[in-house]
Amino acid sequence: GKAASNGKAVAPETAPPRPATIMLDWTINSDHGGLYTAIQRGYFARNHIAAAPKVPSSSTSQIQLVAAGQANFGISYETDLLAARAQHIPVRSVMCIMQHPLNTVMALKSSGITRPRQLAGKTIGMAGSPSDIPIVSAVMRHDGASIKEARMVNVGYNLLPALLSRRVDAVVGVYWTWEAIQARMKGYPVNVMRVERWGVPNYCELVLVASERTIRAQPIFVREVVQSLQQGYADAAAHPLAAWTALHRADAALSRPLVLRSLELLGPVETDATTVGYQDPRQWEAYAAWLWANHMISRPVAADVAYTNQFLQPHVR
């Protein structure tokens, strides 16, 4: 204020950094290791950007907030993004954060269930999201059984308590990089059936979403944010401990053993591509078709308009 009123030009270095609001998909957790690493290592600051992560009110509101321009970016799910595209909501994925599904079907080791067909005759707990039933259906069909042989019950957000207390025999809607670790840490070994290995097409569990308007109007800004994140996630994959430190600074309530173990598991998932953040056209096409075939989206979606690789820096590993 003072400098300006004196009529002097404001030097670019003293201007406040440009804010980039990023709606998270959930409370701060290991999935955001790369984001906080990028913040802590100054990758955003280098571009004169101040990243401002925000926690959402519900797991779907971030896409709407991004579309409405209330947030610049959002971390969301490929599934939700394609559902939003089916409603013609003008948002795109600009980066794939997790190259594989994290959502999984999980049973206690003691139950002896190691593969989907053993779910026949069992009770399966779900959280009530629309993908639960198609996923179980797909993995059971792939293994030669039918979902009709299992009993699906909605247990809300109480998947793990329901499983560990044996109210249900298996659950769907948990992450093998989070709840599976928690179960093991509580002394309950679990069997994880990763869905992409049992007939569900591979997809990006988490993506970075921007609105088409932002992409059109501020491509450089988007590039700088995306590339800061690429670097951050590459670092997090390589140095889980550093990522833990960054996360812990952001949220003191995080538990070290759980988050650290999760970061270790997530590293390979984040970097399993030619460059961090890459979105594979064939896989997107296949997943969009699978969603439509399973009635999870209201219209068929052309996958190529749902994402863009144009902002990625190549060869970040």
Positions in the binding site for another protein (CB under 8 A): 21, 26-29, 53-58, 60-61, 63-65, 67-68, 70, 80, 83-84, 86-90, 128-130, 152-158, 160-162, 164-165, 167, 182, 186, 250-255, 258, 296-298
Please identify, using beta-carbon distances, which residue of 167 and 282 lies nearer to another protein: 167
307, β-bridge pairs: 93
Quote the least distance from Cβ 125 to another protein, whole Å. 9
Nearest 5°: phi and psi at 255?
-100, 125
Quote the least distance from Cβ 70 to another protein, whole Å. 6
Quote the least distance from Cβ 213 to another protein, whole Å. 11
Q: First and final CA of the chain: distance in angstroms? A: 43
DSSP 8-state assignment for residue 110: G
Encode 236-252: b = buried (16+ Cβ within 10 Å), e = exposed: bbebbebbbebbbeeee
Nearest 5°: phi and psi at 38?
-60, -40
Please identify, using beta-carbon distances, which residue of 179 and 224 lies nearer to another protein: 179
**Burial of 295: CB neighbours in 10 Å, binned 0-12, 13-18, 19+:** exposed
Please identify, using beta-carbon distances, which residue of 24 and 276 lies nearer to another protein: 24
Quote the least distance from Cβ 310 to another protein, whole Å. 24
Quote the least distance from Cβ 105 to another protein, whole Å. 18
Please identify, using beta-carbon distances, which residue of 74 and 232 lies nearer to another protein: 74
The alpha helices in 72-156, defined as continuous H runs, are 78-86, 132-142
**Residue 247: what residue type?**
L
Q: Rounded CA gap, 132 and 173, in Å?
A: 7
Q: Rounded CA gap, 115 and 110, in Å?
A: 13
Quote the least distance from Cβ 58 to another protein, whole Å. 7
Question: Tokens at residue 71, please?
Answer: 């947030």
Quote the least distance from Cβ 203 to another protein, whole Å. 16
Distance of CA 279 to CAs 63, 146, 198, Å?
A: 19, 32, 21
Please identify, using beta-carbon distances, which residue of 64 and 313 lies nearer to another protein: 64
Please identify, using beta-carbon distances, which residue of 133 and 273 lies nearer to another protein: 133
Nearest 5°: phi and psi at 154?
-85, 115
Please identify, using beta-carbon distances, which residue of 33 and 53 lies nearer to another protein: 53
Question: Tokens at residue 250, please?
Answer: 């952001």
Helix (H) or strand (E) holding 226: helix 219-238
Q: Are 230 and 95 in contact (CB under 8 A)?
A: yes
Please identify, using beta-carbon distances, which residue of 167 and 216 lies nearer to another protein: 167
